[in-house]
Structure 1
Amino acid sequence: MKIGIKFKLISFTALVLLLVISFLSILVLSGIKNYQNKEAESTLFKQKDMFEQYFSESSDAENNGINNKMQQSVRGSIFNKPWLRTIPASVYDTKGELLSGFKSNGKFNENKDKEEMIKVAIDGKVSYIKVNDVIYFYSPIKYRNDIVAILELEYSVKENGLFYNKIKNLFYGTGLMALILGILIGIIYFFNFTRDIYKMKNSIKSIQNGEFNKVEQVHRNDELGELSEGLLFMSNTIEKNIAELKVERDYLSMAVNKLEEMDKQQKEFIGNVTHEFKTPITTIKAYADLIGMYNNDLSLINEGSVNISKECDRLTSMVDSVLNLSALEKYDFEVIKSEVNIKEAFHDICERMMVKVRKNNLTMNYDIEDIVVTVDEENIRHIVINLIDNAIKYNKPGGNIEIRCYKNYDRIVLSVSDTGIGIKEEALGKIFQPFYRVESHRSRESGGVGLGLALVKSLVEKLNGTIEVESNINEGTTFSMEFPI
């Protein structure tokens, strides 16, 4: 059975109090008893000396016939003296016969060892014995170093016994009260003491259960207070470490997921590259074989040459896109910033793209704020050129392209809109994946391989920016970007 610390402390306190009270009681009562015994012994020896002195004085006055005269004096006059009649005593001769005696209470001698103790006194020794409440004292009376009589004294210690019993009862009563009071005070004190211990115990359980907000601090100016502060510090440290471990775990989980996604994308990328490269190579191979078979057919040779040239251009474009995307992923940390006048840079880009815009029977408008910022100009040019190129490829004849760029607090806002065919809602989340094309047939016709938007997103993220897309079928598409200055 488990015994609580509160019960142990109270029991220990009660035991200590009991031992202390018992020890003090025994010590004091023993002292009183010894004092009473010594006082009684001293009184008896004084009385014996008084009798012995009287015998000596009486014998000196008679001056002859010492024994006979003394014995006659004892029989006739010794207890007629007022000061001797206050002492219960008996006098015996050296043969043990009673010469004279006096008892104030007339009580019968209850000493059963009387004769033996008289014989001891005849041999010159003092002895005494306590019977009930009376001390019987036997001593030889000497005159000129000779034993001339035996003195028997009776000394009542009844009053001493009553006083001793009163003191003993007082000690028992006050000791019991002190014990009860000490236990009550101990209960009150240890209740507060153990309450703090139980608080720390509950705090430890809370730490074990991961409930760190339930850890209570005990405010005390002693070791328990220091222990409580240590528990609180340990709780906060464990909670902090657990939170950091959770963050690390989440980071690791994200990293693992990203690696898995990258592995999947890599496999898809390789598969798409293989497929995309295979198509123009097959076309080139076919036309090369036909020209070899029909080398006299000029029309076939011309048609083959034109198609082979187109497919070579397509392969070149694909290789450039793949190399750009690979280089971007490999050298992601390389950002070369410089002061750029956005209006001048965008005006130059738009003028260069204007030939292609007009060739496809489109119009392009741009509204660029005149601002100078520190940015990677080459990356910005790639982003804008790719978005304008997409807007041209997927626009409608007679369509329009709108470009806007302005400063919004500490960010640059850039948007490229077109009035083209639009993008289906289910495809909006995939358009930034390498080789993904919303309409494969139209992309092939326009020479697109599905790498432009993947490159754009990588460049935007490289510049710590964000990109969003909004699109409606047959109404157009808008790409919106923000970059920190």
Structure 2
Amino acid sequence: MKIGIKFKLIAFTASLLLTVILFLSILVLNGIKSYQNKEVEAALFKQKDMFEQYFSERSSSSNNNSTDNSIQLARGSIFNKPWLRNIPASVYNTKGELLSGFKTDGKLNENKDKESMIQYAIDGKVSYVKVNDVIYFYSPIKYKNNIVAILELEYSVKENSLFYNNIKKMFLITGCFALALGIVLGIFYFLTLTRDIYKMKNSVENIQKGNFDKIEQIDRKDELGELSKGLIFMSDTIEKNIEELKIERDTLSVAVDKLEKMDKQQKEFISNVTHEFKTPITTIKAYADLIEIYNKDLDLIEEGTSNISEECDRLTAMVDSVLNLSALEKYDFEIHKNEVNLKEILDQICSRMMGKIKKNNLTLECDIEDIITTTDEENLRHIVINLIDNAIKYNKPNGSIHISCHRNEDKIILTVEDTGIGIAEDALDKIFEPFYRVESHRSRETGGAGLGLALVKKLVEKQRGTIKVASKLKEGSKFSIEFSI
């Protein structure tokens, strides 16, 4: 059975108060009892000394120094003296015979050991016994070191007993009141104390459950207040560590997913590279074999030489793209930014690409704002050239290309738009993957290997930018790049 700390504290307080009250009561009552006993004993011995003095005076005034004669002289007048009548008394001779006595209440002697105690006094010893609130005192009376009589005193201690009982009752009542008051005050005090303890207990349970927003602080200037602050600090630390662990877990999960994706991409990449390289190599090998067989056919040699040269150029372009992609994956940190004028760079690129644009019977429109920003110039050139090159390759005869670059608040938006064949909606999410081509036969005709847009996306991301594409079949495509200023 679980016992709460509140009950334990109240029970301990009650036990402590009860122990203290009992100890003090016993100590005081024993003190009173001892004092009363000493007071009674002093009164009895004082009365006994007064009787001895009286007998001594009577014996000294008598001409006859006989002890028996002195007793006889005192026998009739012993209790005529007021100072000998303070305490009821009886005088016996050395044979135990009653000589004289005085009593105020007329009560019979209730001491059953009277005779043995008289004999005890005859032997020269003092004794007393308490019977029903009366102390029976027996003592020898001496004159010149001789026992001349036996004194019996009947001393009432009724008032003493009544006083003692009243004090005892007062201690009982006062003790009970003090105990009850102490328990009530203890309950009120411990309610506050245990309330704070239960708050900390609830805080600990909330920490265990992960409810860190339900931790209560206790406003106290003692150890409990310090403990509460410690709990809050511990809670904040645990919460922070858990958040960091979650972040690390999420990061690790993302890394694992990325590794799995990269592994899959690597396999696809190797497969695609093998496939793409195999086609031009097969063509080269075929023409080489034909030229070797028909080495005198000049037309065949000319055609083969031309095709072999084109296929070699295609292989070179693919190798360059593969190396560029590999370099981007390996050297993430190699970004060289400097301050550039975007209008000047884009105008230069458009001027260089104009020959190819005119060759394909296309028109170019430029709407470029004069913007100075910090970026990697070489990467920017590569991005724009690739996008313009794609706009040329996949455009329609007599089509157009539109290039714009504007500032929008803290962003720079660069767009390359064409009026070409467009891209199907289901392919928009895949065009940035390495070796992905919307139309394989068309890509082969234009010499594309599906690596240009993958390279563009990597370069944009290195610049902390984003690239998006919007397209409709037979209407054209629009690539939008957004950079932070």
TM-score by length of 2: 0.97
The answer for the alignment partner of 2:172 in structure 1 is 172
1:437 and 1:450 in contact (8 A); partners too: yes
The answer for the alignment partner of 1:414 in structure 2 is 414
Whole-angstrom CA distance in 2 between matches of 1:320 and 1:453: 14
Whole-angstrom CA distance in 2 between matches of 1:19 and 1:170: 17
**RMSD, matched Cα:** 1.4
Over 6 Å off, 4+ runs: none
Cα gap change, 1:154/1:434 in structure 2, threshold over 3 Å: closer, same or farther?
Answer: same
The answer for the alignment partner of 2:329 in structure 1 is 329
Whole-angstrom CA distance in 2 between matches of 1:364 and 1:481: 19
Whole-angstrom CA distance in 2 between matches of 1:21 and 1:368: 99
The Cα offsets for residues 244-296 of structure 1, whole Å up to 9 and x where unpaired, read as 00001111111111111111111111111110011111112112222223333
The answer for the alignment partner of 1:7 in structure 2 is 7
Write out aligned runs for 1:33-52 (5 A).
33-52=33-52
2:55 and 2:71 in contact (8 A); partners too: no
TM-aligned CA deviation for residue 100 of structure 1: 0.8
The answer for the alignment partner of 1:121 in structure 2 is 121
1:90 and 1:100 in contact (8 A); partners too: yes
The answer for the alignment partner of 2:105 in structure 1 is 105
TM-aligned CA deviation for residue 204 of structure 1: 1.1
TM-aligned CA deviation for residue 17 of structure 1: 1.0
1:74 and 1:99 in contact (8 A); partners too: no
Report the residue type matching 1:438 in the other structure.
V
The answer for the alignment partner of 2:284 in structure 1 is 284
Write out aligned runs for 1:203-282 (5 A).
203-282=203-282
TM-aligned CA deviation for residue 69 of structure 1: 2.6
TM-aligned CA deviation for residue 65 of structure 1: 4.3
Whole-angstrom CA distance in 2 between matches of 1:212 and 1:128: 80
1:74 and 1:100 in contact (8 A); partners too: no
Report the residue type matching 1:200 in the other structure.
M
Whole-angstrom CA distance in 1 between matches of 2:346 and 2:34: 120
Does 2:449 correspond to 1:449? yes
Aligned to 2:438, the other structure's residue is in SS state coil
Report the residue type matching 1:474 in the other structure.
K
TM-aligned CA deviation for residue 314 of structure 1: 1.4
The answer for the alignment partner of 1:89 in structure 2 is 89
Aligned to 1:334, the other structure's residue is in SS state coil
Report the residue type matching 2:97 in the other structure.
E
Whole-angstrom CA distance in 1 between matches of 2:294 and 2:76: 187
2:47 and 2:84 in contact (8 A); partners too: no
1:86 and 1:104 in contact (8 A); partners too: no
The Cα offsets for residues 187-230 of structure 1, whole Å up to 9 and x where unpaired, read as 22212211211111111111111111122122211111111111
Q: How many pairs are equivalent? A: 485
TM-score by length of 1: 0.97
The answer for the alignment partner of 1:400 in structure 2 is 400
Gaps in structure 2 of 5+ consecutive residues: none
The answer for the alignment partner of 2:30 in structure 1 is 30
Whole-angstrom CA distance in 2 between matches of 1:93 and 1:328: 137
The answer for the alignment partner of 2:200 in structure 1 is 200
Aligned to 1:83, the other structure's residue is in SS state helix
Aligned to 1:449, the other structure's residue is in SS state coil
Whole-angstrom CA distance in 2 between matches of 1:247 and 1:286: 57
Cα gap change, 1:86/1:316 in structure 2, threshold over 3 Å: closer, same or farther?
Answer: closer
The answer for the alignment partner of 1:62 in structure 2 is 62
The answer for the alignment partner of 1:73 in structure 2 is 73
TM-aligned CA deviation for residue 148 of structure 1: 1.1
Whole-angstrom CA distance in 1 between matches of 2:13 and 2:311: 102
The Cα offsets for residues 294-313 of structure 1, whole Å up to 9 and x where unpaired, read as 33333333322222222222
Whole-angstrom CA distance in 2 between matches of 1:455 and 1:76: 148
Whole-angstrom CA distance in 2 between matches of 1:50 and 1:435: 138
**Amino-acid identity (%):** 74
Does 2:448 correspond to 1:462? no
Whole-angstrom CA distance in 2 between matches of 1:392 and 1:102: 152
Cα gap change, 1:144/1:367 in structure 2, threshold over 3 Å: closer, same or farther?
Answer: same
The Cα offsets for residues 111-150 of structure 1, whole Å up to 9 and x where unpaired, read as 1111111122122221111111111111111122221111
Report the residue type matching 2:87 in the other structure.
I
